[in-house]
Chains A and B, each alone.
Chain A
Amino acid sequence: MLNSSLAQLGAALRAKKISGVELTQLYLDRIAKLNPALNAYITVNPETSLAQAREADSRIAAGTASALTGIPIAQKDIFCAKGWRTTCGSKMLHNFVSPYDAHIIGQFNRAGAVNLGKTNMDEFAMGSSNETSYYGPVKNPWDTARVPGGSSGGTAAAVAARLCAAATGTDTGGSIRQPAALCGISGLKPTYGVCSRYGMIAFASSLDQAGPMARSAEDLALMLNVMAGFDERDSTSLPRDKEDYARDLAKPLSGLRIGLPREFFAEGLGSDVAHAVEAAIAEYKKRGATIVDISLPNSRLSVPVYYVLAPAEASSNLSRFDGVRYGYRAPEYSDLTDMYEKSRAEGFGAEVKRRIMIGTYVLSHGYYDAYYIKAQRIRRLIAQDFVEAFKKCDVIMGPTSPSTAFKLGEKGDDPVQMYLSDIYTIAVNLAGLPGMSIPCGTGSNNMPVGLQIIGNYFDEARMLNVAHQYQLATDWHTRTPDGI
Chain B
Amino acid sequence: MSLSTDDIKKVARLARLAMPEAEITAAHAQLSGIFGLIAEMQAVDTNGIEPMPHAQEITQRLREDIVTETNQREAFQAIAPQVERGLYLVPQVIE
Asked whether, in the complex, the Cβ of A324 is within 8 Å of the Cβ of B56, the reply is no
Known contacts A324-B90, A354-B31, A383-B52: A374-B58 contact under CB 8 Å: no
In the complex, A371→B76 CA distance in Å?
38
Contact, CB under 8 Å: A358 / B31: yes
How many A-B contacts are there with CB distance less than 8 Å? 161
Indicate with 1 or 0, residue by residue over B57-83, a CB within 8 angstroms of chain A CB atoms.
010110100000000100110111110
In the bound complex, do residue B37 and residue A416 qualify as a contact, i.e. CB atoms below 8 Å apart?
A: yes
- Name which residue of chain B comes closest to A352, CB basis: B17
A301 within 8 A of B: yes
Q: In the complex, which residues of chain B have a beta carbon less than 8 angstroms from the beta carbon of A207?
A: 55
Selected contact of A377 from candidates B27, B30, B39, B51, CB within 8 Å: B51
Q: Are A193 and B55 in contact (CB under 8 A)?
A: yes
Asked if B56 contacts A236 (CB within 8 A), the reply is yes
How far is it, in angstroms, between the C-alpha of A421 and the C-alpha of B62 when the chains are bound? 39
A261 to B44, CA, bound (A): 20
Q: Which of chain B's residues have a CB closer than 8 A to the CB of A414?
A: 33
Closest to A381 in B: B49
> Interface 1/0s, chain B 1-43, versus A by CB < 8 A?
0010001100110111111000000010011011111111110
Q: A324-B90, A357-B11 are in contact. Are A341 and B16 (CB under 8 A)?
A: yes
Assess whether B38 is in contact with A344, with CB atoms less than 8 Å apart. Answer: no
Please give, as numbers and ranges, the residues of chain B lying within 8 Å of A337 by CB-CB distance: 16
Contacts of B88 in A (CB 8 A): 324-325
Closest chain-A Cβ to B77's Cβ sits at a distance in Å of: 8
A340-B34 in contact given A193-B55, A377-B50, A380-B49 (Cβ < 8 Å):
no
Interface centre among B17, B19, B39 (most CB of A within 10 A): B17
Most buried by A among B11, B44, B46, B52: B52
- For residue A99, which residues in chain B have a CB less than 8 angstroms away from its CB? 72, 75-76, 78-79
Q: Is the CB of A378 within 8 A of B46?
A: yes
B33 → chain A, closest Cβ, in Å? 5
Known: A305-B41, A325-B76. A238 touches B16 (CB 8 A): no
Interface centre among B11, B55, B61, B78 (most CB of A within 10 A): B55
Interface contact B17-A345, CB-CB below 8 Å: yes
The interface on chain B, measured as residues whose beta carbon lies within 8 A of the other chain's beta carbons, has a size of 50
Query: Binary interface profile of A, 182-212, with partner B (CB < 8 Å = 1, else 0)?
Result: 0000000000110000000000001100000
Complex contacts, A215 vs chain B, CB 8 Å: none
- Known A-B contacts A236-B56, A238-B56; A307 and B37 likewise in contact (beta carbons under 8 Å): yes
- Per-position 1/0 for A370-389, Cβ under 8 A of B: 11011111111101000000
Task: Tell me whether A255 is interfacial, beta carbon within 8 Å.
Answer: no
Contact status of A192 and B55, CB under 8 A, knowing A324-B90, A416-B37: yes
Bound complex: CA A381 to CA B50 (Å): 9
Q: Are B11 and A364 in contact (CB-based, < 8 A)? A: yes
The interface-forming segment of A138-146, A328-336, A395-403, A471-479 is: A328-336
Contact partners of A235 in chain B: CB under 8 A: 60-61
Q: Smallest distance from the beta carbon of A90 to chain B beta carbons, Å?
A: 14
Closest chain-A Cβ to B44's Cβ sits at a distance in Å of 6
Scan A170-181; emit 1 where CB is below 8 A from any B CB, else 0.
000000000000
Bound-state Cα–Cα, A339 to B3, Å: 27
**Contact partners of B35 in chain A: CB under 8 A:** 358
Residue pair A371, B38 in contact (C-beta under 8 Å): yes
Q: Are A357 and B27 in contact (CB under 8 A)?
A: yes
Given contacts A301-B40, A357-B31, contact A432 B15 (CB under 8 A): no
Kindly list chain A residues whose C-beta atoms are within 8 Å of the C-beta of B42. Answer: 370, 374
Residue B53 at the chain A interface, CB threshold 8 Å: yes
Of the A-B pairs whose beta carbons lie under 8 Å apart in the complex, a sample of 29, sorted by A's number, is A99-B72, A192-B55, A193-B56, A193-B58, A232-B63, A236-B56, A236-B58, A238-B56, A301-B44, A303-B37, A307-B38, A324-B90, A325-B88, A327-B81, A339-B91, A342-B18, A354-B34, A357-B11, A357-B27, A358-B35, A360-B11, A361-B11, A364-B14, A376-B51, A377-B50, A379-B51, A383-B52, A419-B34, A431-B55
Q: A325-B88, A358-B31, A361-B3 are in contact. List 17 more A-B contacts (CB 8 A).
A: A95-B79, A99-B78, A236-B56, A304-B40, A326-B80, A336-B90, A340-B16, A344-B16, A357-B17, A357-B31, A374-B46, A378-B44, A383-B55, A416-B34, A429-B55, A431-B55, A432-B55
